Amino acid sequence: KMNESAPRGLTFKRIYSADTSFSEIVSALYLLKCRIESGSRTFYGRYLYAAATLPEHRSKGYMGKLINEALGYAKEENLDFVALVPANDGLYGYYEKFGFTEKMYKYRLNICSNTATMRAFCEISEAKEFYDIRNSFQGNMLMYDEIISEYAFECMKFAGNRVFSISDKAYYAEGEELFCADDNDFNASEMFLRNLCGESEIF
């Protein structure tokens, strides 16, 4: 249940009302508001996120029912799309049963540097700065509103990952992604790679 008047603070408290309660949750997923900017057109949809079922309740069809409910909701709301990223390659076949097809791609780059540091970059501590950098991009990728961006930022922080600004249109989230909103910012990526510490996987 959406709670638009919830006070500022932790994102979940801002999104969900206090009277929401369950006796037991065995299977769940989230539909996060998102959009895709393509040329002069904007497509509105949902990102299907954190779909999970307790091990002892799997293979009972619960997740399938939730996904069908999610797709039915998207149709009723006249949304343009529902997108997701399977947790592993073995799930592609499962999601195909519900009509999902491969339309978006990610590139994985493994980087290892033993001597460099991240001192050349400023760590992002406020979700608003993270949102402003990501929102500066206009192109074919999933974009989120400020509340959902804050949620993503809090999730990364909760997992112990740091986020660094490379420029006002580029950032690096440890273990998550290297984001550049402007082709010119790829020049900054050379300095970034020289200063990256430890071993990271970038998506």
Cα separation, 173 vs 155, in Å, equals 11
Q: Which of the two residues, 96 and 171, has the higher pLDDT score? A: 96
pLDDT at 107: 65
Model confidence at 161: pLDDT above 90: no
- Residue 51 near residue 84 (C-beta atoms within 8 A): yes
The DSSP letter of residue 39 is T
Model confidence at 184: pLDDT above 90: no
pLDDT at 37: 85
The DSSP letter of residue 64 is H
Q: CB neighbours of 183 closer than 8 A, spacing ≥ 6?
A: none
Model confidence at 49: pLDDT above 70: yes
Structure tokens given for 54: 């307790």
- Residue 50 near residue 28 (C-beta atoms within 8 A): yes
Q: Please choose, from the candidates 200, 142, 132, 197, the residue with its C-alpha nearest in 3D space to the C-alpha of residue 167.
A: 132
Structure tokens given for 78: 């006249």
What is the per-residue pLDDT across 72-122, written as a single tens digit (0 to 9) for each? Answer: 999 999 999 999 988 888 899 999 999 999 987 766 666 555 444 566 678
Taking residues 50-58, what's their average pLDDT? 91
How much is the pTM? 0.70
If you average pLDDT over every residue of the chain, what do you get?
Answer: 79
- Residue 162 near residue 182 (C-beta atoms within 8 A): no
Res. 188 pLDDT band, cuts 50 70 90: low
